[in-house]
Structure 1
């Protein structure tokens, strides 16, 4: 079975979502189904069908989260000595050599990636170009708009 890397924070977020789905949302939709059944004819009962559809979404999400958690390999970057190399879980500050702009990214698992929060997937082109490099190295990232050169300014284990 293939293992998927995940940060401690990513695992906790999935655990929290799973707990809410099982303890809050699942019971609420079961109650909504029971209430809709009391209204009579189920063939023409929109509330019943909506609640059943919502139940399907909740059960699918629970199954998805449980699958992701069972296939995850949780990596706590704080337990790894800082060698200055870019590895999974670190926060990297880069200098775009073309525009002289700084950008900061945290390299996380696929499920945790959110560019708006500066979290990029370990499988993204920029992360793949950075992995294994050190502070001071210049990396070339192939993007749809062409190649972009970055200099690695800092590597932080947060």
Structure 2
């Protein structure tokens, strides 16, 4: 399985590394995938982050490759998560899976119902204080 290079800030890198070390909820598949992604991750300053990189406060649209179903959500810190408002925690399984990817990426991640493949369709940044697309 080819591992695409994550492009993330130090904040997101540390969050993922900490989650990898402390989470007993990750499957072996996901632990290995995240470990390999972090080994090759490109850590950049916020100013050097590509506009379409998935980070905290990104507005993300993904497509399940098999079912073709699309999902759009605002990726947020865990304490801001609210599914009624489509605010998904960065520590939710799909949040962990997508952090650091950019538009067009294909992401494999083991979900409760098996390994799924998602395509990152669109990424926009949300202004945290206004919660609107920047």
State the superposition RMSD in angstroms: 2.2
**How many residue pairs align between the two structures?**
82
SS of the residue 1:105 aligns to: strand
1:88 aligned to 52, 56, 62, which one? 56
Q: Which residue of 1 aligns with 2:32?
A: none
Tell me the residue number matched to 2:41: none
CA contact (8 A) 2:51 2:124 kept: no
Partner Cα separation in structure 2 for residue 90 and residue 133 of structure 1? 11
Q: Per the alignment, in what secondary structure is the counterpart of residue 116 of structure 2?
A: strand
Please report how far the alpha carbon of residue 83 of structure 1 lies from its aligned counterpart in structure 2 after TM superposition.
Answer: 2.3
Higher share in strand? 2
Question: Which residue of 111, 117, 121 maps to 1:149?
Answer: 117
Q: 5+ residue gaps in structure 1?
A: 6-78
Does residue 76 of structure 2 align to residue 108 of structure 1?
yes
If each structure's helix is expressed as a fraction of its own residues, which one has the higher value?
1
Find the counterpart in structure 2 of residue 123 from structure 1. 91
Rg larger in structure: 1
Aligned-residue offset at 1:108: 0.4
Give the TM-score taking structure 2 as reference length.
0.55
**Structure number with higher relative contact order (C-alpha < 8 Å, ≥ 6 residues apart):** 2
Instruction: List per-residue Cα deviations over 1:34-59 (Å, max 9, x = no partner).
Output: xxxxxxxxxxxxxxxxxxxxxxxxxx
Q: Which runs of 5+ in 2 are unaligned?
A: 1-10, 13-45, 126-132
SS at match of 1:129: helix
Q: Hey, what's the Cα distance between the residues in 2 that align with 1:108 and 1:134? A: 17
Deviation at 1:82, TM superposition (A): 5.1
